[in-house]
Amino acid sequence: MSYGLHWEWRGFGRLDEAARERIESLRPFGVPSSVVDRYIWCPGQAINVKLRKWPGGESIKLKRLLRRDEAVDVELWEERPDEEFLLPLSPERLSVILSELGWEHVLVDTPVGGGSLEELLAHAAPGVRLVSVTKHRRAFTAQVGDTPVRVELTDITEPEELTSVGIEDQLGLDEQSTVESYEVGRDAVRAVRDRLNPGFESRSYLDALAFWVRGARLGPNR
As a whole number, the mean pLDDT across the chain is 93
Residue 65's pLDDT band (cuts 50, 70, 90)? very high
In this predicted model, what pLDDT tens digit does every residue of 76-128 receive, in sequence order?
999 998 999 999 999 999 999 999 998 888 888 899 988 889 888 888 888 99
Q: Which residues pair with 53 in a beta bridge?
A: 58
Q: Cβ distance 59 to 118 under 8 Å? A: no
Q: Do the domain assignments include residue 222?
A: no
- Number of domains within the chain: 1
Residue 222 has pLDDT above 50, yes or no: no
CA angle, residues 73, 2, 22, in degrees to nearest 5: 55
Q: Do the domain assignments include residue 66?
A: yes
* Predicted local distance difference test score (pLDDT) of residue 1: 56
Q: Which residues contact 82 (CB under 8 A, 6 or more apart)?
A: none
Segments forming the whole domain that contains residue 134: 4-212
Q: Do the domain assignments include residue 201?
A: yes
Residue 220 has pLDDT above 80, yes or no: no
Q: Cβ distance 64 to 102 under 8 Å? A: no
Q: Which residues contact 170 (CB under 8 A, 6 or more apart)?
A: 2, 6, 141, 147, 148, 149, 150
Q: Do the domain assignments include residue 159?
A: yes
| CATH code assigned at 91 | 2.40.320.10
Residue 54: what residue type? Answer: W
Q: Do the domain assignments include residue 64?
A: yes
Mean pLDDT to the nearest integer, 138-163: 97
The DSSP letter of residue 90 is: P
Asked if omega into 32 is within 30° of 0 (cis), the reply is no
* Predicted local distance difference test score (pLDDT) of residue 123: 85
Residue whose C-alpha is closest to residue 167's, from 18, 21, 26: 26
Q: Do the domain assignments include residue 177?
A: yes
Q: Do the domain assignments include residue 220?
A: no
Sign of the dihedral defined by the CA atoms of residues 117, 123, 124, 129, in that order: positive
